[in-house]
Amino acid sequence: MAQAPVELLQRVPLFADFDRGDLERLARSFKERTFQSGSTVAGEGKSGAGFFVIESGEATVTVRDADRGKLGPGDYFGEIALIDDGARSATVIADSDLRCYGLTSWEFRPLVESNASIAWKLMETMAKRLRAAQR
């Protein structure tokens, strides 16, 4: 399986402050995943062990069967379930063939614990998503 392209990870806000060497090390932890159009990538209420960054394709996000938006290249999802080992907070369905790079919880946790800027950006992202979900 291929590792994530460094250029893709540079576009992810969580990793924006990483230098090239850190991005290259991080990229080696990601594994390529593909999903066919129409497939469920993450199911609300189901367990999840992956954080994903989309390289190509588009997906729809729903919460309690209500559309919450679209995802495309450079977008990411799955970080909330990784933090608390809980159920997925949303469903993500591939609108087209989707090529992603995934990172497991056992690889993600040390990354967050050792990098304060990622931890802070993750909290900001979750706060924004919580506010959006409450609207």
Domain tally, the chain: 1
Whole-Å CA distances, 54 to 28, 38, 131: 16, 16, 23
Residue 122 domain flag: yes
Residue 34 domain flag: yes
CATH number of residue 32's parent domain: 2.60.120.10
Its domain, for residue 21, covers 6-134
Residue 1 domain flag: no
- Residues ≥6 apart with Cβ < 8 Å to 17: 117
Whether residue 50 contacts residue 104, with contact meaning beta carbons closer than 8 Å, is answered with yes
Residue 17 domain flag: yes
Whole-Å CA distances, 77 to 45, 69, 108: 15, 12, 13
pLDDT of residue 62: 94
Residue 40 domain flag: yes
Residue 105 domain flag: yes
User: What does each of the 135 residues of the chain score in pLDDT, given as a tens digit?
Assistant: 577 888 888 888 777 777 788 788 888 889 999 999 999 999 888 887 788 999 999 999 999 999 999 999 999 998 776 777 778 888 999 999 999 999 888 887 887 788 787 778 778 877 877 787 777
